[in-house]
Structure 1
Amino acid sequence: MWKNSSYIRNNIKMAWPIAINALLMQGMLMIDTLLISPLGEGSLAAIGIASAIVFLMLGVQNALATGSQNVLSRAVGSGKQSLISKSFLSGVIINLLVAILFFLLVTFAKWPIIKLLSHDAALYPEIDAYLTVMSYTLILTGISQVAIALFNAMGKTKLPLLSYLLTMPINAVVSYYLIYGFNDFTGMGVEGAALGSVIALLLRTLFLLVCLKFESSLQFSLSQAMQGIGRNISLHFKEIFPIAANMMVLAIGLAAYKFLYTQLPTEAYAAVVMVTPWLSALAQFVVAWAVSSAITISQAIGANKLDTLEADVNLSIKVTIAVSLIISFASFVLSLLIDKIYPGHSAVTYQALAAIAPLYILMPLIQGYVTVHGQVLRALGKTTAVFNINFVTRWVIALPLFAFAVLVLNASIFWVYAITVLEQILKIPPMRSQARRFLKEFDSTKASKLMYD
């Protein structure tokens, strides 16, 4: 019992900063949007289009860093400083190479992308200005996200949170003055908002690197890290690439969902728009617990402590269900207050909100169960299995069915929204069966193959 309590306390200690971090990352765009708003709808539209491009690329980098987090957790669990150094260097190199690729894409091929996303030529100068400056965040993210992954792998998730708390106010203040100017400086408009974000991210990156430099439990050695680095990078990339591919599959699929939602009656679409940000924010707490469980499991694999691995996984699943129940209750409370949060809308819109309420209240339980099993599979190195399940359920089954319901059947909002719940339900059998099978087969030999030493 004591061990179980210790396991739960340790994971909660890691999980809550991860959840707050995720919310603050979403807040970066919110700061720019709020500051740009007085400039008018054209500037808001420009920043929305440009940020969609950048944040898709940043999402891929974050996904790669999340994959590196499991690799780094195993290295931390092993206690081998040389392996930690090598894994960190591999993660940084991979992420920086992807960052450079994206940077070159933005620099030399941005106009076809811009013209694809917007047909309003009046917006092009502001889109170009914001996108050009924000592209430098890709390079900084290549370093900072892997540094955050290492701190998370060590269980020190409060340091990344502190880096966000310190730099977000700087982002807001610097961006404000760069946008609107001060004294004789007239301001840079949307370009100033982008530059403020770059400055804040630069400070965050420097803060994280200084913290790594003075971290007493780390002894980085470049000479040791370079030994066999080619093999480490190859194996490291092979494991984490499906996570980035998975992110792209889900992100593009989400964009397809959003487009199809726009084909619904305006009131039904408005209902989905109202609840989605709240549900996304609440979901971060379930995801954070699942991620912290993956870190703990990966550390145990690295330390070759496999005797309690299955028990730890079972405990993680039980706690995830408990957390999901809390989030479901919070979603229930949201359903009671949503008309107070968004007053003044038509009765049809509130009827649509009431229709989908049972579904979004149920969703956290299903998503939580799926998420924790996906994280277990990733901790066991089975990232391709997670990709395959997500690809089939979203692109082969759910999206075609969703499109048919919206475009052909003209189905009600309840049945349309229910398909997104069905997608999650369809993931449960393969996620559970594969996690159980791989966990049962997992032994010291398989653990050693994941060390990349």
Structure 2
Amino acid sequence: MLSTFISNNYIRKNIALGWPLALNALLMQSMLMIDTLLVSPLGEVSLAAMGIATTIVSFILGIQMALANGTQLVMSRAVGSGSPSKLSNAYWSGMLINLSVAMGFWLLLSWLDQDLIRWLTDNKTLYIEIGAYLDIAKYLVLFTAITQVITAMFNAIGCSKTPFKSYLIELPINAIASYLLIHGFNEWQGLGVIGAAIGSVIAISLRMVFLTACLKYQPELTLSFTSQFSVFVNNMKLHFIEIFPVAANVTMLSIGATIYQLLYSQLSINAYAAITVLMPWIRGGTQFITSWAHASAITISQAIGSKKLDNLTADVDISIIMAVVLSVCSCGLFWGLSFVIADIYPGLDPETYLALTTIAPLYILLPFIRGYNTVHGHILRALGKTTAVFKINFTGQWLISIPLCGVLILYFDASIFWAFAVMPFEEAVKALPFRYLARKTLKEFDHTQADKLI
């Protein structure tokens, strides 16, 4: 009876943490989608420029989010320990690291933007619009560094609804400001693509002000800097050592996803169009699984920080079971999508619909295997195995799956079914190592290991 109560309490706590995290991720993805939608009436040149520019910005924001997620685990352990000084050190270490990385990217976009643009496209008609967008959008990188760390703090203390509210403020402001600045009003013609960048900067700056104010007036949360400088520098060094593999992992997977897309572009135009149509659905359809994994990592990190390890294995088992349940639900949603996707995207060629039908069993199965791996990866990071997670992902993607995909497409001229099958195959390859490492780590995890992490 007691174990049932503990399990139910753990599930309720994770759900309360997880649903705002899922909606946060969906809303964050929708921001750049809104800008793209608003720019589309300007024509193909502006839309192509917007697509390339937002690809660069999204890549940088993904790295910043990964750094913040690593910081989130450190702060969650500090919350569990009940030590205000540890929490303060974790917050300021994460903030300085993220801001330093953001400044590096800002300088890169300031000095090498034209070189980067020429590397991404040889269409000279796009250069001016891409450069103009990046000249403004690079400030998003600075503001996002601050908002991501503050968001991580709220998640770590269990107040994930506050960042959700901030997105509800940011999203309509971004949509309205961007629309007016892109298309103008009355007799003013607007700024075009540059207006989308300015609208986004206005919206995220207001979100930053809102989150900062909420953090300042958060009860019983003191983030004053009281540590000796030498102690803080050492803490920041250890902090970076732990979170760097998280950022490296996300960067590696992002580049790998781009290479997959480049390889798939070598298929027939209809096959590539089918995969392009599916990718946003695959990313969005797994957000609730990912958010459950994030919530599990936060709760487990808090337990490690408080050294309450008696139910650690049981909580991990519950996290995995719930992730499997959510993954099955996601598979069901994708199964339903397979029946209506032709209605959602009318007017495509018959060959494209045939390609979508051909890979339907694969994209229906994919969330199940990916969800299983996602929850294991986040739990292992909470247990301090960030480097091991990176090694498993690197081996599965870069040493096995991407070379296999390249051989199938470029040498054997494989069909879309076998080319797309590499993605669930990659997840299957990683599943057993994730499972083995999680069980081994839990078996060996004790108070000594917890002390090392803290």
* CA distance 1:137–1:176, shift in 2 (3 Å): same
Q: Pick from 121, 124, 128: which aligns with 2:124?
A: 121
The 10-residue stretch of structure 1 (336-345 or 277-286) with the greater mean CA deviation from structure 2: 336-345
- 1:8 corresponds in structure 2 to 11
The answer as to whether partners of 1:85 and 1:225 remain within 8 angstroms in 2 is no
**Unaligned ranges ≥5, structure 2:** none
Distance 1:413 1:318 in 2: 32
Which amino acid is 1:190 matched to? V
Q: Answer yes or no: is 1:86 the counterpart of 2:94.
A: no
Q: Secondary structure at the match of 1:354?
A: helix
Aligned partner of 2:348 in structure 1 is 345
Residue in structure 2 matching 1:69, options 69, 72, 75? 72
Structure 1, residues 233-277: CA drift from partner, whole Å, max 9, x if none?
101100110111111111111011001111111221122122221
In 2, Cα distance between equivalents of 1:184 and 1:74: 56
Of the three residues 359, 364, 369, the one matched with 2:362 is: 359
> Does the 8 A contact of 1:83 with 1:225 survive in 2?
no
Counterpart check, 1:441 vs 2:444: yes
- Is there any run of 5+ residues in structure 1 with no aligned partner, and where? none
* Distance change in 2, residues 1:226/1:207 (3 Å): farther
- Among candidates 364, 368, 373, match of residue 376 of structure 2: 373
Report the equivalent of 1:27: 30
- Size of the aligned set, in residue pairs, is 451
1:425 corresponding residue in structure 2: 428
In 2, Cα distance between equivalents of 1:322 and 1:302: 28
Counterparts of residues 168-179 of structure 1 (less than 5 Å): 168-179=171-182
What is the CA deviation profile of residues 35-66 of structure 1, one whole-angstrom value per residue up to 9, with x for unaligned ones?
11111111111111111112111111111001
Aligned with 1:388 (options 386, 391, 415): 391
Give the structure 1 partner of residue 281 of structure 2: 278
The residue that corresponds to 1:207 in the other structure is 210
Letter in 1 for 2:70: G
The residue identity in structure 2 corresponding to 1:395 is: W
1:243 and 1:383 in contact (8 A); partners too: yes
8 Å contact from structure 2 (residues 85, 226) kept in 1:
no
1:299 and 2:302 correspond: yes
- Match runs of 1:211-230 below 5 Å: 211-224=214-227, 228-230=231-233
CA distance in 2, matches of 1:356, 1:50: 30
Q: Which residue of 1 aligns with 2:158?
A: 155
Does the C-alpha gap of structure 1 residues 184 and 348 become closer, same or farther in structure 2, counting only changes over 3 Å?
closer
Which residue does the alignment assign to 1:165? 168
Contact kept? 1:103, 1:138, Cα under 8 Å: yes
Q: CA-to-partner distance for each residue in 1:104-129, whole Å, 9 max, x for gaps? A: 11111111111011112221111111
Report the Cα offset of residue 185 of structure 1: 4.4
Residue in 2 that maps onto 1:233: 236
Q: Note closer, same or farther for the CA distance 1:321–1:77 as it changes in structure 2 (3 Å cut).
A: same
* Cα contact 2:27–2:167 (8 A) shared by 1: yes
Match of 2:249 in 1: 246
> For the residues of structure 1 that align with 2:407 and 2:230, how far apart are their CA atoms?
54
TM-superposition CA deviations, 1:106-160 (whole Å, max 9, x none): 1111111110111122211111110010001111111110000011111111111
After superposition, the C-alpha distances for 1:60-88 in whole angstroms (9 at most, x for unaligned) are: 11110011110011011111111111100
- Greater shift, 79-88 or 221-230, is seen at 221-230
Q: C-alpha separation between the residues in 1 aligned to 2:151 and 2:17? A: 13
Contact 1:320–1:368 (Cα < 8 Å) also in 2: yes
Report if the CA contact (8 A) 1:271-1:349 is conserved: yes
**AA aligned opposite 1:204:** R
Q: With the length of structure 1 as denominator, give the TM-score of the two structures.
A: 0.97
Please report how far the alpha carbon of residue 314 of structure 1 lies from its aligned counterpart in structure 2 after TM superposition: 0.6
The worse-fitting range, judged by mean Cα deviation, of 421-430 and 177-186 is 177-186
**Correspondence for 1:99:** 102
Partners of 1:349 and 1:176 in 2: CA distance = 33
Pair 1:316 & 2:308 matched: no
Once residues 195 and 156 of structure 2 are traced to their aligned partners in structure 1, the CA distance between those partners, rounded to angstroms, is 35
CA deviations on 1:368-390 (whole Å, 9 max, x unpaired) are 11011101110011111111111
1:326-382 deviation line (CA, Å, top 9, x unaligned): 101111101111122122333322222121111111111111110111011100111
Match of 2:261 among 248, 258, 262: 258
Letter in 1 for 2:360: A
What is the one-letter code of the residue matched to 2:259?
Answer: A
- Residues 22-46 of structure 1 show CA distances to partners (whole Å, capped at 9, x for unaligned) of 1111111111111111111111111
Aligned-pair distance for 1:437? 1.0
Give the AA of the match of 1:87: A
Distance 1:397 1:31, change over 3 A: same
1:144 aligns with 147
The alpha-carbon distance between structure 1 residues 213 and 226, as it changes in their structure 2 partners (threshold 3 A), is farther
Instruction: State how far apart, in whole Å, the 2-side matches of 1:144 and 1:318 are.
Output: 32
Structure 1 CA distance, aligned partners of 2:317 and 2:165? Answer: 32
**Mean CA deviation greater in 246-255 or 268-277:** 268-277
